Structure 1
Amino acid sequence: MKLIKKLLQNIPRENVREVIVGVFSTLVRTDSGCGIASTLRYDRPHQRIVNSGELEQMNLRELAELALSENLLEASVGMAAINSTLPSDAPYYREMNGTELILEKGAGKTLGIIGHFPFLERVSDQFEKVYVFEKFPQHGDLREEDFPALLPQADVVAITATSVTNHTFGDIMHWAAPHSYKLLLGPSTTLSPLFFEWGIDALAGSVVVDYEKLRKQVIQATPTRYLSGIRQVCLLRKDFP
């Protein structure tokens, strides 16, 4: 929560033009930008978002403060609102994706990854060991209860950015070994150097470059890995001495 409150400090009270909560992704658009975040919905059934149907009447700061909510749908909207303040281009963005960075830092080593990402199936043989931790485990995945025993063994720790949305980020970082290379990845990633103060070494996220194309895909339930209209970039701690 402290991290989210820090992220909220510089969010302006500007007008919100559109909010879309799709099956897989959430979008927030303002006059100056657009943000994307994963839609989290593993909560109580039929739980609504506060002011749903009238979210555009809230200003951006009010919308972003939903990131503090324990209602995961609201928190998803809040993270998309925070991400709408990110520049679509910046000199410190690196043109690479999270998979490339994980392979660069972790090939031949032990990878601990929080979140069952689709790319694991094609690259898992590049690592000495792979520990996959999931809130809702698939076959072969580990549970959050396994963090204390296994996560400290990882040389590279790749963390889904939805851990910020569901407020488990702090617990994960607690069990990551100090020597490990830690990166946050996924569309919910807020590309802010503020994360480096919390021990993150790299951020791998997405910025919106074609809102109309992205908007239609989000409305029609396109899974994250098939989205276009976004650009994958990385922010590296070493670029911010």
Structure 2
Amino acid sequence: MWELYDRLIEEVKDGVVAEEVVVGQIWTLTKSNTVGLAMSSPQLTTSNFVPGTCQGQTVKELARLIKSWDFLEAAIGLSAINSILNSRETMNSIVNNGFKQLPSGSAFEMLGNRIEGEKVAMIGHFPNVDELSKLCNLTVIERKPSNEDLPDPAVEYLLPEQDIVFITSSTLINKTAPRLLELSKNSLTIMLGPSTPLSPVLFEMGVDIISGLIVEESEQVLRCIKEGGGTRRFRNAVTYVNLAKENYL
């Protein structure tokens, strides 16, 4: 079950030092070669010993925290990984190795025609639910369900029956991602959100489309996160990137 995590950690270069780590209200950020993001955990604990120790550690050391069951630590670990992988250099390397670069922007909008009439599951309640439900037979599965959302255990019953599955990359933090990918192996599977690493490892582990971002204006994003902001506040400072095993459009 740890293969996905171990291979992401292996992707991080040795010797790179973390310049800054910020755990904001919504997003966690590590700044090293670039800026990497991960969703902050709402389940903060007082028992961990990480706060106050991150700056100056190597990114590799911080990356290993992704395997922690303390989700504050795991978010730091994922943001550290993304501070190395989520760059234009990495994106170009993935494309040069035969994978496809799809149009940038929202994965939901990009796949609008592909989704129409299909059975679609969404792991995580994204803002696009209402519009998406007009195009397809949509099921939303959430850890804290609201309205017509279904609770977590529904994945075991419903994912194998879906044509398309959207998986929030915050599942890497709570460790449900490997099982979700296993259940979705016969579906077109998209991992999406600012927490998503731009790594071909995800393709090898069952993801068909990676939908993440590259931070272009690091100081603007850093300031927004420090002040409690979300993606709406810094969307003009990032580029949303879509990479795929093949052209699914």
How far did 1:97 drift? 2.5
Counterpart in the other structure of 1:38 = 39
Is contact 1:105–1:181 with CA below 8 Å preserved after alignment?
A: no
Is contact 2:211–2:243 with CA below 8 Å preserved after alignment?
A: yes
Counterpart in the other structure of 2:213 = 206
- Bigger mean CA offset, 162-171 vs 70-79: 162-171
**Partners of 2:122 and 2:110 in 1: how far apart?**
13
Q: Which amino acid aligns with 2:145?
A: P
Question: Residue deviations 1:88-136, cap 9 Å, x none?
Answer: 3233344232212442431111111100001112232011x11100011
Is residue 162 of structure 2 the alignment partner of residue 154 of structure 1? Answer: yes
Counterpart in the other structure of 1:234 = 242
Is contact 1:110–1:156 with CA below 8 Å preserved after alignment?
A: yes
The verdict on how the C-alpha distance between 1:156 and 1:226 changes in structure 2, with shifts beyond 3 A counting, is: farther
**Partners of 1:7 and 1:183 in 2: how far apart?**
18
Counterpart in the other structure of 2:196 = 189
How far did 1:231 drift? 1.0
How far did 1:25 drift? 0.5
**Secondary structure of the corresponding residue to residue 160 of structure 2:** helix
Counterpart in the other structure of 1:111 = 120
**Secondary structure of the corresponding residue to residue 181 of structure 2:** helix
% of aligned pairs identical? 29
**Secondary structure of the corresponding residue to residue 51 of structure 1:** coil
Is contact 1:102–1:158 with CA below 8 Å preserved after alignment?
A: no
**Secondary structure of the corresponding residue to residue 199 of structure 1:** coil
Count of residues in Structure 1 that have an aligned counterpart in Structure 2 = 234
Counterpart in the other structure of 1:22 = 24
Is contact 1:153–1:177 with CA below 8 Å preserved after alignment?
A: no
**Partners of 2:46 and 2:226 in 1: how far apart?**
20
Is contact 1:38–1:188 with CA below 8 Å preserved after alignment?
A: yes
Counterpart in the other structure of 2:225 = 218
How far did 1:83 drift? 0.3
Counterpart in the other structure of 2:98 = none
Unaligned segments of structure 2, at least 5 residues: 96-100
Is contact 1:204–1:235 with CA below 8 Å preserved after alignment?
A: yes
Unaligned segments of structure 1, at least 5 residues: none
Q: How does 1:45-84 map to 2 (within 5 A)?
A: 46-47=45-46, 49-84=48-83
Is contact 2:220–2:234 with CA below 8 Å preserved after alignment?
A: no
Is contact 1:50–1:74 with CA below 8 Å preserved after alignment?
A: no
The verdict on how the C-alpha distance between 1:26 and 1:48 changes in structure 2, with shifts beyond 3 A counting, is: farther
Runs in 1 of length 4+ with deviation above 6 angstroms? Answer: none
Is contact 2:45–2:70 with CA below 8 Å preserved after alignment?
A: no
Q: Please, what is the CA RMSD of the aligned residues?
A: 1.7
The verdict on how the C-alpha distance between 1:225 and 1:102 changes in structure 2, with shifts beyond 3 A counting, is: farther
TM-score (norm 2): 0.88
Question: Residue deviations 1:22-77, cap 9 Å, x none?
Answer: 011111011x22211111223xx543543311211311111111101000010000
How far did 1:226 drift? 3.7
TM-score (norm 1): 0.91
The verdict on how the C-alpha distance between 1:2 and 1:131 changes in structure 2, with shifts beyond 3 A counting, is: same
Is contact 1:102–1:156 with CA below 8 Å preserved after alignment?
A: no
Is contact 2:50–2:73 with CA below 8 Å preserved after alignment?
A: no
**Partners of 1:47 and 1:237 in 2: how far apart?**
41
Counterpart in the other structure of 2:145 = 137
